[in-house]
Structure 1
Amino acid sequence: MKKILSILIILFVSCSLFSCSDVIEIDVKDGVSQLTVDALVNNKKETQTIKLTLTQGYFDNSPVKPALGAVVFVFDQDSVSYQFKDLKNNGIYTYDAKVNPLNKIGKQYLLYVNYGGEEYISASKLNRVPKIDSIAYEVDKRPIKPDNGPQEGFQPQFYANDIVGEGDCYWIKSAKNSKYFSKANEISVAYDAGFSQGSKTDGLLFILPIRTSVGRELFSDRDTLKVDLYSITQEQFYYLQLVQQVSQAGSLFSTPLSNIPSNIINRNEKSTKKAIGLFGMSAVSSMETIIDKSKAKPKK
């Protein structure tokens, strides 16, 4: 009797799960187009860029539209202005920083964008960054052949110490043969020398998973590896963490998809026009090496 009862319960649950076949039609309308600001500026003596585009409807597969005709400035804490100009009329506003770089460590910087009769502002601090001491690599083999890169090769890692004083945040970028690992799920950030606040890694060597994050795939002999260590604000740290989490969404227990918060503010609080994106300042420490199999360490 108990066995029959169990079977009936299973059948009832199965029917209730698979009988929900009503079609729900959702009327998806295009929302209001918003200004998108991609303004990650660093202290290098090279051309700095700020990209302005416009959002478009979910089902609009046309190329992203640039935001043309904007007035773009960055001001430092000492009231020095740096004008970014759209020289190619493509929504990419540039400033040649070879002569006068934005490199005042510890100073605040303000972004100002005037577009479509609206004024948008944002602030960010240019924080300190440690030097990269060295890059090493060891012989390694992946158990399963990856989609990209070799199955056998060299796993690299960089060595650097977090600066003493809690709260420093970093973005670690790397490039293999001049091509950066730039996908959202390849973002690597650090809080002090660890993954998060409270990890008690202030002033220490970056932990192993962060050091080896520069090798998203194995390297081969004579490949080049470049490692860039960017200082970022805590605001940028949490922004990039959220971008990474959203990019990995898809499983049953993933972080629910949501709008990523922006630090771009419309000066007119009563305006219905908003902007999305991020403004951030970074100091950069870099090191580059060529993989030499004769210098590789054996796998531990």
Structure 2
Amino acid sequence: MKRIFIYLTFLFSGALLSSCEDVIQLDVQDGVEQLVIDAWLTNKAEPQIIKLSLSQPYFDNSEPTAVNDATVILFDADSVAYPFQNINSNGEYALPENFASALIENKQYALYVNYRDEEYAAVSIFKPVPAIDSIAYEFFEFPISGDDSTETSGYFAEFYAKDFEEEGDTYWIRTTKNGELNIDPAQIAISYDGGFSPGGGTNGLTFILPIRQSINDGFYQHGDSLKVELWSTTPDAYFYLLQVRQESANGGIFATPPANIPTNIFNLNSNSDRKALGFFGISQVNEMSTVIDSTKARPSE
């Protein structure tokens, strides 16, 4: 009887697996072409760039079409205007001056974009960010060996910073290893009051351990360079980045249907069907760099 049950189970499983081989033809509509605005400004002493492009069909893997005939202006709360200039005709708009020195903490800034007689706007706040106190690292070695492409030993790093006393502070942690910024959207590291999410009881404390160790993508080795950047964000920026991460990691058998991520950019004409995609954020940035030195590693426990 047990043997019959196992045999029936095998047949049932095989039927399920074979049903997964059916080819499904999807009829995906192209939809309305939309303006995509990539606008994240900081106080870093470097050119501040806003990128404009057009949306494209879901299965179109070509380079997006750049938008070069738009008007892009940033306004502060006192109505001081900072016009951006189109550069190189590649959809990039830049400030012709050192913008970092003009930013004022906790001040509100508004982005205005005019494209094909449609006017778009978004608002963000230049919030403060804590200083990074230090970066520490410790040597680890896995007890089992992997293949030739897998590192089984090296240094695991963490940074230290303390959340502000006020509730609702949100952050974006960005890591550069050996001069290469980690831009994998599925590995976006964000924090709410030094923890994972609102109401976590972490307000005003040192960032929790998983957040501090989010700067690791594999092991560091002796001589590797490491730079950690802590960016201030607004709560809506935190939830935007959270959804970007979730959509980027959305795959496998239990994946949910992909969806556009909500934006803080709106058309001033609420009756228009021309909407915008993307996000406008403005961040204060603190950073710290180090070079992994085996003689300065924290003793292993």
TM-score (norm 1): 0.90
Distance 1:163 1:119 in 2: 36
1:190 CA displacement: 0.3
Alignment-derived partner of residue 220 in structure 1? 221
Which deviates more from structure 2 when the two are superposed, residues 202-211 or residues 62-71? 62-71
The one-letter code sitting in structure 2 at the alignment partner of 1:250 is G
1:67 CA displacement: 0.9
Alignment-derived partner of residue 59 in structure 1? 59
Structure 1 residues 167 and 99: CA distance shift in structure 2, 3 A: closer
Q: Is the 8 A contact 1:193 1:207 kept in 2?
A: yes
1:19 CA displacement: 6.4
What do the CA deviations read for 1:199-247 (whole angstroms, capped 9, x no partner)?
0101100011111111212111121110100000000111111111111
Structure 1 residues 211 and 24: CA distance shift in structure 2, 3 A: closer
Distance 1:23 1:216 in 2: 36
Alignment-derived partner of residue 46 in structure 2? 46
Alignment-derived partner of residue 103 in structure 1? 103
1:260 paired with 2:261, answer yes
Distance 1:19 1:94 in 2: 53
Write out aligned runs for 1:67-78 (5 A).
67-78=67-78
Q: Is the 8 A contact 1:109 1:125 kept in 2?
A: yes
1:195 CA displacement: 0.2
1:184 CA displacement: 0.5
Alignment-derived partner of residue 82 in structure 2? 82
Distance 2:150 2:216 in 1: 11
Q: Is the 8 A contact 1:42 1:102 kept in 2?
A: no
Residue ranges of structure 1 left out of the alignment (5+ in a row): none
1:265 CA displacement: 0.4
Alignment-derived partner of residue 282 in structure 2? 281
Which deviates more from structure 2 when the two are superposed, residues 213-222 or residues 113-122? 213-222
Structure 1 residues 292 and 110: CA distance shift in structure 2, 3 A: same
Distance 2:195 2:275 in 1: 34
What do the CA deviations read for 1:81-137 (whole angstroms, capped 9, x no partner)?
111111211101111452663421111110000111111000011111000011111
Distance 2:11 2:162 in 1: 60
Distance 1:20 1:165 in 2: 51
The SS at the match of 1:272 is coil
Q: Is the 8 A contact 1:173 1:229 kept in 2?
A: yes
Q: Is the 8 A contact 2:30 2:56 kept in 1?
A: yes
Distance 1:225 1:5 in 2: 57
Q: Is the 8 A contact 1:149 1:218 kept in 2?
A: no
Structure 1 residues 145 and 26: CA distance shift in structure 2, 3 A: same
Alignment-derived partner of residue 112 in structure 2? 112
Alignment-derived partner of residue 239 in structure 1? 240
Distance 1:160 1:235 in 2: 22
Structure 1 residues 297 and 272: CA distance shift in structure 2, 3 A: same
Q: Is the 8 A contact 2:85 2:96 kept in 1?
A: no
Distance 1:171 1:4 in 2: 57
The SS at the match of 2:236 is helix
What do the CA deviations read for 1:1-40 (whole angstroms, capped 9, x no partner)?
9997997798679658856987654433322211111101
Alignment-derived partner of residue 136 in structure 2? 136
Distance 2:77 2:88 in 1: 29
Q: Is the 8 A contact 1:150 1:220 kept in 2?
A: no
Distance 1:16 1:294 in 2: 56
Structure 1 residues 148 and 84: CA distance shift in structure 2, 3 A: farther
The one-letter code sitting in structure 2 at the alignment partner of 1:54 is L
The SS at the match of 2:95 is strand
| Seq. identity, % | 46
TM-score (norm 2): 0.90
Q: Is the 8 A contact 1:44 1:101 kept in 2?
A: no
Alignment-derived partner of residue 177 in structure 1? 178
What do the CA deviations read for 1:132-168 (whole angstroms, capped 9, x no partner)?
0111111122456489774322111111100111110
Which deviates more from structure 2 when the two are superposed, residues 216-225 or residues 186-195? 216-225
Distance 1:169 1:146 in 2: 39
The one-letter code sitting in structure 2 at the alignment partner of 1:111 is L
What do the CA deviations read for 1:253-282 (whole angstroms, capped 9, x no partner)?
445422111111011111111110000111
